[in-house]
Amino acid sequence: MKTVLIPIANDDYSDDLINYIKLYIPAGKYKIHLVHIYTSFAASEAEEIKGNPKQAEKFLEEARLQDYEQQLKSAGYPTELSFLNGLVEQKFVELANAVNPTFILMATSGSNNFLENIIGTGAYSIFEKTYAPVFFIPKNCSIKKVENAVVALHLEHETTEVLNEYFEYADNRGLKSEFLNIDDSSDMNIVDDDAVLAQFKSRYPGRINEVKYKKSTNVPKGILEFANQSDADLIVLYTEEKNFIEKIFHVSVTRNLILHSQKPLLVFRY
């Protein structure tokens, strides 16, 4: 069965995250793999208090994750738990690349300061080091239903195969999809948009009847404005792998949206 890998932090938002799993991941289609990572300090502290089972259990978060496991199993999700020791980002990336999940789902707190606006957050850093598509659920998210998705396409660079995984997920979840292209006037228009759109229509008959165009000098802002106007419950993005030089000179639309979107994101790479 396909797997969704989900890091669970030691914070109050984890209860909300479990509810978003039920919203965004269709029951019976995916196994849920919850992972909690203790720092070395936490592990040593736990060793000291292991003589008190109640305190140790609370400290290690095991009881809380076992409760999540029961909630999810009762809702029809096969569920697995993992507890790891070490540096959170390093251990999660190692597990993600070993498990090779269909999706990763994680909470993001957005941008809290100027430095995060420049270098990004832990969630974005994990995304850069893993290969699976990632759901980013903002901590200030207020989504109560999942019916409509906006799929942002960049017709200059897309290959027609990129939508296979999305359509499989959309079918499993019963999503309605709108397709969007932001015209920021910076593209050279080397590739004819109509020709690319014709290829998409040929590959996915009946799936893409039109791509809506929106002019905006700021691509992330344009995507968010369209998503808000269309009452989308999910924004879907595609991002290219970039080399070191490209990363220096390219402003990441994906990172910007992870930092500032109040709507959940699903990000694929190609």
pLDDT band at 52 (very low <50, low <70, confident <90, very high): low
pLDDT confidence of residue 27: 93
pLDDT at 182: 84
The residue among 24 and 58 whose pLDDT is bigger is 24
As a whole number of Å, the CA-based R_g of the chain is 20
Q: Is the confidence at residue 48, as pLDDT, over 70?
A: no
* Cα-based angle 59, 61, 66 (whole degrees, multiple of 5): 145
* Residue pLDDT, tens place only, 188-230: 554 566 777 788 888 888 888 888 888 888 888 899 999 999 8
Q: What is the pLDDT of residue 245?
A: 37
Q: What is the mean pLDDT of residues 81-105?
A: 92
Confidence bin at 7 (pLDDT 50/70/90): very high
The pLDDT assigned to 9 comes to 82
Taking the C-alpha atoms of residue 230 and residue 149, their distance in angstroms, rounded to an integer, is 9
Name the β-bridge partners of 30. Answer: 2
Residues 116-155: tens digit of each pLDDT: 333 335 788 888 889 899 999 988 788 788 899 999 987 6
Tokens 């409509």 belong to residue: 148
User: ∠ CA(251), CA(253), CA(257), 5° rounding?
Assistant: 130
Domains assigned to the chain = 2-138 (3.40.50.620), 148-269 (3.40.50.620)
Q: What is the mean pLDDT of the chain?
A: 80
Most confident range (mean pLDDT) of 56-65, 243-252, 255-264 is: 255-264
Mean pLDDT of 245-265: 71
pLDDT of residue 225: 92
pLDDT (tens digit, 9 = 90+) per residue, 237-253? 988 755 443 343 345 78
Band the pLDDT of 187: cuts 50, 70, 90: low
pLDDT at 97 > cutoff 90 = yes
What confidence tier does 78 reach under pLDDT thresholds 50, 70, 90?
very high
Tell me the one-letter amino acid at 257.
L
Answering whether pTM is above 0.85, one says no
- Backbone dihedral angles phi then psi of residue 65, each to the nearest 5 degrees: -70, -35
Return phi, psi of residue 178, to 5°: -115, 140
234 pLDDT higher than 90: yes
Share of the chain above pLDDT 90, in %: 37
254 has a pLDDT exceeding 90: no
Q: What is the pLDDT of residues 18-46, one digit of tens each?
A: 889 999 999 999 999 999 987 754 545 55
Give the DSSP letter string of the chain.
-EEEEEE--SSTHHHHHHHHHHHHS-TTTEEEEEEEEE-HHHHHHHHHTTTSHHHHHHHHTHHHHHHHHHHHHHTT--EEEEEEES-HHHHHHHHHHHH--SEEEEEE----SHHHHHH--HHHHHHHH--S-EEEEETT-------EEEEE--TTT--GGGGHHHHHHHHHHT-EEEEEEEE-S-----S-HHHHHHHHHHHSTTT-S--EEEE-SSHHHHHHHHHHHTT-SEEEEEE----HHHHHH---HHHHHHHH-SS-EEEEE-
Q: Which two tokens stand for residue 29?
A: 């289609």
pLDDT (0 to 100) of residue 123: 80
What's at 17, amino acid-wise? L
Average pLDDT over residues 33-62: 62
